[in-house]
């Protein structure tokens, strides 16, 4: 873990077409979903920045915004299912098992 983390703000302002090797790690009620940015660029357009693309992501099951989003350098794994490159958490707004409306009570 001595590698220097890429700057989150810089990545958020990067266009999708320049992040085509990267993947998103989404956590929601569906569990963990790995989503290639290449596909996202095809769907939303390569000119869109990551910052503007994130709000468009929806969980396939509940149609809500995934509470946890991380960026993975690559979709490749080390053979044990773990990502090979760096991983940067972009959004972490609580656990999907405890929705805010329930946690508030």
Torsions phi, psi for 53 (to 5 deg): -80, -35
Query: Does 28 contact Zn ion by CB under 5 A?
Result: yes
Q: Are 61 and 28 in contact (CB under 8 A)?
A: yes
Q: Are 20 and 41 in contact (CB under 8 A)?
A: yes
The number of beta carbons lying within 10 Å of the beta carbon of residue 75 is 18
DSSP at 91: E
Interior angle at CA 91, CA 90 and CA 96, nearest 5: 140
Query: Does 29 contact Zn ion by CB under 5 A?
Result: yes
Query: Does 69 contact Zn ion by CB under 5 A?
Result: no
Candidates 12-20, 35-43, 56-64, 70-78 — which segment interacts with Zn ion by CB under 5 A? 56-64
Which residues sit opposite 24 in a β-bridge?
35, 71
Choose which of 7, 61, 92, 98 interacts with Zn ion (CB under 5 A). Answer: 61
Choose which of 15, 48, 59, 90 interacts with Zn ion (CB under 5 A). Answer: 59
Query: Does 8 contact Zn ion by CB under 5 A?
Result: no
Q: How far is the CB of 60 from Zn ion (least distance, A)?
A: 8
Q: Toward Zn ion, which CB reaches closer, 61 or 84? A: 61
- Binding residues for Zn ion, rule: CB under 5 A, are 28-29, 59, 61-62
């Amino acid at each position: 873990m001595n590698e220097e983390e890429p700057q989150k703000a810089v990545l958020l302002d990067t266009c999708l077409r320049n992040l085509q090797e990267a993947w998103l790690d989404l956590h929601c009620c569906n569990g963990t979903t790995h989503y290639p940015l290449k596909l996202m660029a095809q769907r939303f357009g390569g000119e869109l920045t990551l910052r503007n693309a994130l709000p468009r992501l929806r969980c396939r099951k509940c149609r809500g915004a995934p509470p946890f989003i991380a960026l993975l350098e690559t979709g490749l794994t080390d053979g044990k299912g773990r990502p090979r490159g760096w991983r940067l958490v972009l959004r972490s707004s609580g656990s999907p098992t405890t929705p805010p409306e329930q946690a508030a009570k």
